[in-house]
Structures are given as C-alpha cells and as structure tokens.
Amino acid sequence: RAREVLATPGVRKFARESGIDIGRVKGTGANGKVTREDVEKFMQGGNQVTA
Amino acid sequence: MVVGEFTEEVDVLVVGAGPGGYVAAIRAAQLGKNVTIVDKAELGGVCLNRGCIPSKALISAAHHYEAAKEETFPGIATTASLDFAKVQEWKQTVVDKMTGGVKTLMKGNKITVMEGEVFFTGANEARVVTEYEGKKIHFQDCILATGSRPIELRALPFSKRVISSTEALSLPEVPERLVVVGGGYIGIELGQTYAKFGSKVTIVEGLDSILSVFDAQLTRLVTRNLKKYNVDIHTGALAQSVQEDENSVTLTFKVKDEEKTVTADYVLVTVGRRPNTDEIGLDAAGVKLGEKGLIEVDSQCRTSNPHIYAIGDIVPGAALAHKASYEGKVAAEAIAGKASTVDYRCIPAVVFSDPEIATVGVSEDEAKKQYGEVSVGRFPYAANGRATALNATDGYVKLIAEKESGLLVGAQVIGVEASNLIAELGLAIEMSATLEDVALTIHAHPTLGELVMEAAEVGLGSPIHIVAK
C-alpha cells in the first residue's frame, strides 16, 4: 500500500483549506515530506506529482 | 401532539454531552453558531461520570493505598488503613469538579443546556422529552454524540450482583471477592484496582490472553503484577451462567471442556460496549445505520442526512474519548463551512493498568506488513536514572521505524507514566519525524522522557546508556 503523505498536521490543514489534495503535491522535504512552501508552489502550478 | 407546542429554532443541536458532544458544542459556538446541547443524564457523559475520570480516581487511590500498605519503598514503614467510603466520596468530588467545569464552559460559550431524551421527528426536527414536558426543536444542523453503553450478556443479565462498570465504580465497600468477565482494558483496570484494595479477584476472559489487542510482550508485566495480587486469570474461558442468592453470586464457566465455578460478591461484566443508536428515531431523521448499530459517516462525520453528523462511540473506529472530541471539532467546523476533515495518522491508546501501557501508531508486526524492513529501538526503564530514583524500573519504551527512511511509525510504552510519555511519540508520528529527529532532541535529565530519546538511539544503533549488541 502507498505510504501516507508526509506532512505536519498544520500543513495538511493548510492544503485542505486551500482546496488542494495534498496527495498531488510533490514534497521537497526529508523523505518527500510536503512543506507549506510546496503547497504554495503547487497552487502556482509547480511541484506537481508526476503520475 | 401537545396543542400550541412551542418550537425552538437552533442552528446546531448537539445530542449527548460526553467528550464528543460538549467539545463539538463549544467549537460550534466559537464559530458563531447558536447551539443547544441535550443530554438525558448529565454533562460530561460516560467519560466524566461513569468512565475515564472516576476510574482513574479509583486507580490513583488504589495505587496510593498499595504504596502505603505493601512496604514497596525501602525505608518507609507503613501503617495504612483504608476508608473506602471516603475514597468514594473523594472520587465523587473529582467527578463533580470536572462536570462542573463543563457546565461553566457551556455557560461561558452561551450554549443552551437541556436535560431530556431526544427523538427525531423529521430530517430537521426533534422532540426533547424531559420528565415534565416535551419541546420541539427545529435545527439547521445536528451533531449526534449519544455514545455507548455496556453490553449485557444474555447468560449473565445485569442484576444486584451482576454489574457493569458503572456500578463497579460506585461500590459502597470493597468486595471480598470479585469476578471480572472480560479481560479488556476496562476489566483489567477495575479488576486490578479492586485487587489492590484487597478484593480476591478472578478474571474470566474468552480469548487466549487478557488485553488481547496488545502484543503479548507488552502485557506480560501486567499479568505478572496481577498474579502478585493473587488474581486468578482464566483465559479461553466462556462464561455460561450465574446463580445468585442474597449474599453471593456464582459464575459457571467453561475452559475447553472443563466446567468450573467461582463464587463472589459481584460478577463484573466488561465484555464491550454497544452504540446508543437505537430508540432515538434515526429512521425518521433519515440517518442510515451500518453494521453493528454504528453510523457510517464521511470524512467530515456527515451521515446519510447531510445536516446530521455523528461522532464518537456511535461511529466506526476506536471507542476512545479523545477520538470523540477530535471528531466533535471536525463536525462543528464542517457545519460552519470549514474544510475540516478527519485526518490523523495515529491515535494513542492507553491502559491505566499497573504498569501503564500506551501505544500509538502500528505494532512491529503491522509495520513489517506495511513497510517491509523496520528498525526497532527498545530501551528499558531499568537503565533510566529517573525511573530508578522513582523505584519504578519495570517496563520499556519501544520505537518502530521504517528502516529505509527512519520514519517513526509506531511506539509502545509499558511502565510508570507511559500514558504521558506517549504524547511525544504521537506528535513525532504526526510530524513525520524520524528516529534521528527524536534522538537529536534534547530531553531533560533526569526524566522518564529520556527513555524516548534513548530508545531512538537504540533504533539508530548508537545507544549511550546501554551497551549496543
């Protein structure tokens, strides 16, 4: 099974409230952890997870 | 139908004032909703009145009594005596303080509190029946938090001497002999408590081990301590029947094909809890029931009626107070239009046995299944300075991490204050911390918290206070 998305509870909330499915955000942190900046970049069209 | 019955309009009706319900009510009020909360009995629900709080109060009293009585501490002479009526009185003051606190919180958040039973009469409508009157409530949204109640076994119907956890928490005196049917966490907590108060306790468990949801390695110390208190444990034992007379009750049970009996003052039945989803008119409300009387909900705790939410023991998942409170906040926020969802990586579980057991995340076996290779770091209380100074050296902290990344995925603690140590580990898992993150965090010395840091070092293969294998 795929590993859960790594991100702190606060970042997960930020993504939710921004209407972003955090599973689609490419994480740049340790072990692919998604940071708040990653979510922000995703909203601007970057950091997309390639299928 | 009462003529001229007054219908009250509320934004949010919360049904049930347990840890799910009252937290939901507060969060909804914080978000600007006009909230009414109804409970048929009292504020605080099972947890505060007949569960978590009174049981922990009795456990605490039993612990102090044991410490004073058993000369467990070198150099401390003991002359302990027990006034159980006073212990019960004190326990009640603890309960009253906590429920009084909830009352104050309701008032402070301008939440209307009603005592009565709720029956739904429509998708947005309910009747609240109190002892003297009925009242109709029209709600925009509703949060169902009706909780659970003890399961009654058909072969062992509740009576004067066949009791549930509720009665066991309020016994007027320490029973000479107590039989506990069901060796789950409630049975073990109460059984061990009365054993410390001096009861001769017998535990009858249907499965092959007590506390069977936990690893056998984890529960071994609890079993050992129960035996120290002369507790008889029968596993693989099926309760058959009870025979009750004026002064005692005899339980017949079967182990394999052998029939056994045990006579006691009380038989305490703690075989599980069932959701309170019957007799509240869920049909009329358009709320569908799933398996085992539980209500299926979406990630915002919404039921099949989009304006009715359900939280706590009546929805699937662990029946734990902290899960109910969490869901209460999610439901209230969803009602207020927020994007909140149930989104956690782990929920800690604690048994207030002696020693305490606390777990969070996955077990070692589960981690192997999910993540393949794992690193395990285990550190004993006996090598910790604070534990030694506390004269409480039984137990260990065990951390389980994904081998490749070092990500912490599970933790198990058995030992004194395990219930508090687990908080850091829950945070670490939620934060996607690695063993290294934990090991590099400076923990105060001398504290039990250092056990966590050292266990992480063991997992990394570089322990300081034990010799690496």
Structure tokens at B296: 């299926």
**pLDDT at residue B4 in the model:** 54
Average pLDDT of the segment spanning B18-33: 98
Identify whether the C-beta of residue B267 lies closer than 8 Å to the C-beta of residue B161: yes
Evaluate if residue B204 carries a pLDDT over 60.
Answer: yes
Note which residues in 353-382 of chain B have CB less than 8 A from chain A.
370-371
- Considering only alpha carbons, which residue of chain A is nearest residue B429? A8
Note the pTM of the prediction, 2 decimals.
0.95
DSSP bridge partners of A34: none
B313 is in an annotated binding site: yes
B65 touches chain A (CB under 8 A): no
Partners of A8 on chain B (C-beta within 8 Å) are 430-432
pLDDT at residue number B77: 81
Q: Is B308 annotated as a binding residue?
A: no
> Using alpha carbons only, what angle is made at residue B213 by residues B209 and B215, rounded to the nearest 5 degrees?
75
**Residue listed under structure tokens 């209500």:** B295
Q: How far is CA B33 from CA B126, B151, B335, B434, in A?
A: 18, 36, 9, 41
Judged by CB atoms closer than 8 Å, whether chains meet at B434 and A3 is answered as no
Confidence of residue A1 (pLDDT cuts 50, 70, 90): very low
Whether residue B432 and residue A17 make contact (CB cut-off 8 A), yes or no, is no
**A2 — pLDDT class (breaks 50, 70, 90):** very low
Distance from C-alpha of B6 to C-alpha of A20, rounded to nearest angstrom: 45
Active-site choice (B63, B64, B445, B465): B445
Report pLDDT for B5: 66
B445 belongs to the catalytic site: yes
Q: Tens digits of per-residue pLDDT, B122-155? A: 999 999 998 888 899 999 999 999 999 999 999 9
CA B434 to chain CA centroid, Å, is 28
Q: Is B117 annotated as a binding residue?
A: no
Closest Cα in chain B, distance from residue A4 (Å): 8
- All residues of chain A having their beta carbon less than 8 Å from the beta carbon of residue B338 are 17
In this complex, the residue of A1, A16, A30 whose CB is nearest that of residue B339 is A16
Calculate mean pLDDT across residues B384-401: 97
Q: Is B432 on the interface with A (CB under 8 A)?
A: yes
Structure tokens at B170: 């309020």
Closest CA to B160 of B175, B146, B148, B147: B175
For residue B341, which amino acid is it? Answer: T
Nearest CA in chain B to A33: B432
Q: For residue range B396-438, what is the model confidence (pLDDT) as tens digits?
A: 999 999 999 999 999 999 999 999 999 999 999 999 999 999 9
Write the pLDDT tens digit of every residue in B288-317. 999 999 999 999 999 999 999 999 999 999
Q: Which two tokens stand for residue B22?
A: 């009252």
The pLDDT assigned to B3 comes to: 53
DSSP, res A47: S
| pLDDT at A50 exceeding the cut of 70 | no
Residues of A in contact with B341 (CB under 8 A): 16
Whether residues A4 and B345 touch (CB distance < 8 A) is answered with yes
Separation between Cα atoms, residue B145 and residue A23, nearest integer Å: 31
pLDDT at B285 over 60: yes
Residue whose C-alpha is closest to residue B91's, from B69, B47, B58: B58
ipTM exceeding 0.90, yes/no: yes
Within 1-30 of A, beta carbons closer than 8 Å to B belong to 1, 3-4, 6-9, 12-13, 16-17, 19, 30
- The confidence score (pLDDT) of residue B19 equals 98
pLDDT of res. B72: 67
The SS3 call for residue A17 is helix
Q: What is the pLDDT of residues B340-381, one digit of tens each?
A: 999 999 999 999 999 999 999 999 999 999 999 999 999 999
pLDDT tens digit sequence for B45-89: 999 999 999 999 999 999 999 988 877 678 888 888 999 999 999
Supply the pLDDT for residue B22.
98
> Do the Cβ atoms of B343 and A8 come within 8 Å?
no
pLDDT at B79: 83
What mean pLDDT value characterizes chain B?
A: 96
